[in-house]
Amino acid sequence: MLFKKKIHNCVIIGSGPSGYSAAIYAARADMNPILFTGFQPGGQLTTTTSVDNYLGFPEGVNGNDLMKNCKKQAERFNTKIINQSVNHVILSNKKGGIHRIFFSTEKCIESKGVIVATGSRPKFLEIDKEKQFIGLGISFCATCDGFFHKEKNVAVVGGGDTALEEAIFLAKICKIVYLIVRKTNLKASKILQNRILRNNNINILFCSNVTEIIGDNFLEGIKIFNYKTKTSRTVLISGLFIAIGHVPNTEIFKNELDLDEKGYIIVQKGKTITSKPGVFAAGDVQDSNYRQAITSAGTGCMAALDLEKYLYVCVE
């Protein structure tokens, strides 16, 4: 069953800063966008208690409130928002072709342009209280939440570049940083390893896993097990930063768009153009590096402008 049996100009798959930013720019360009919120309306920011590094909020802003405001702003320009997830797409290979987006049970919508803003999701340790304490001591972004742990003890889980970058950032403002590494060595680049070793307030715990999260209403500490010595220790911390990787939400695009080895959508350098004409990608789904709300919003704007130019050329 086709959605109103009409060919649209702009369908945005996913919300969050990139999706809503794309919607605002697309709507103001008279593309009459339709936005699917996905399984997590508002994206990862809805799980963050306070956002202090988003431009324009000198006192900070609650992550959930920020995304509610983004939604209201998109609706102000008559973006049609559908609170459902897209489960299947058939993307045209032709310039000016029609893309088909499937949702619900048997419903389908057709569009000349598609903006993919499905984001990514962090990998979890899969232990008790981990998801419960997100925003209450557990975080996946030191740049976002490190400030709240100034002069306190924190821990970072991971041994790759991201984990070491998080630890180095936190070491500048925190008292002690425990770097918990599952393996016997670090897998990050040598330059980062050297920087870690030069930090006196970073304690590296090799051959270790976090086995328990301690606290009733918020994080108070963790239990760490060293599988080499077969010993456990409890560390009191105010923040636990999990940096074992992210997974881009690109499952439905695996056979439709070019993806890199990690599953992120490949776009042209400096643009949001994907391997299919009329399809653009914005936010974390095409960014494995920065993963910040403000950069996601920026690429959402870019995607809408790229789509506007594409539609204009196709009409010509």
Contact of 19 with 81, CB cutoff 8 Å: no
Render pLDDT for 135-168 as a digit per residue (tens, 0 to 9): 899 998 888 889 999 999 999 999 988 899 899 9
Contact of 35 with 79, CB cutoff 8 Å: yes
Q: 10, 65, 70, 141: which is the annotated catalytic residue?
A: 141
Distances in Å between the Cα of 301 and the Cα atoms of 13, 50, 155, 180 are 14, 24, 35, 38
Helices 63-76 + 16-28 axis angle, to 10: 20
Strand runs (DSSP E) across the chain, as ranges? 2-8, 11-13, 34-36, 80-82, 86-90, 99-103, 107-111, 114-116, 120-122, 138-139, 153-157, 176-180, 202-205, 208-214, 221-226, 231-236, 239-242, 246-248, 279-281
Query: Can 260 be counted among the known catalytic residues?
Result: no
Render pLDDT for 252-261 as a digit per residue (tens, 0 to 9): 999 999 999 9
Question: Which pLDDT does position 316 carry in this prediction?
Answer: 55
Q: Which residues, 6 or more positions from 146, have their beta carbon under 8 angstroms from its beta carbon?
A: 154, 169, 170, 173, 174, 239, 241
Which one has a higher pLDDT value, 8 or 38?
A: 8
What is the average pLDDT across 4-18? 90
Query: Can 301 be counted among the known catalytic residues?
Result: no
Over pLDDT 90: what percentage of the chain? 79
| pLDDT tops 80 at residue 232 | yes
What is the average pLDDT across 270-290? 95
Question: Which pLDDT does position 1 carry in this prediction?
Answer: 41
Quote the mean pLDDT of the chain. Answer: 92
Most confident of 36-40, 60-64, 81-85: 81-85
Over pLDDT 70: what percentage of the chain? 97
Q: 10, 30, 108, 145: which is the annotated catalytic residue?
A: 145
Q: Quickly state the pLDDT bin for 186 (edges 50, 70, 90).
A: very high
Pairwise CA distance, residues 164 & 188, whole Å = 7
Pairwise CA distance, residues 176 & 153, whole Å = 5
| pLDDT tops 60 at residue 26 | yes
Contact of 174 with 153, CB cutoff 8 Å: yes
Beta bridge partners of 61: 51
What is the average pLDDT across 169-194? 93
Question: Which pLDDT does position 68 carry in this prediction?
Answer: 94
In this structure, of 96-100, 189-193, 212-216, the range with the lowest mean pLDDT score is: 189-193
Q: Are strands 246-248 and 120-122 parallel, antiparallel or unpaired?
A: antiparallel
Question: Which pLDDT does position 86 carry in this prediction?
Answer: 95
| pLDDT tops 70 at residue 49 | no
| pLDDT tops 60 at residue 2 | no
| pLDDT tops 70 at residue 3 | no
Query: Can 145 be counted among the known catalytic residues?
Result: yes
Residue type, 3: F
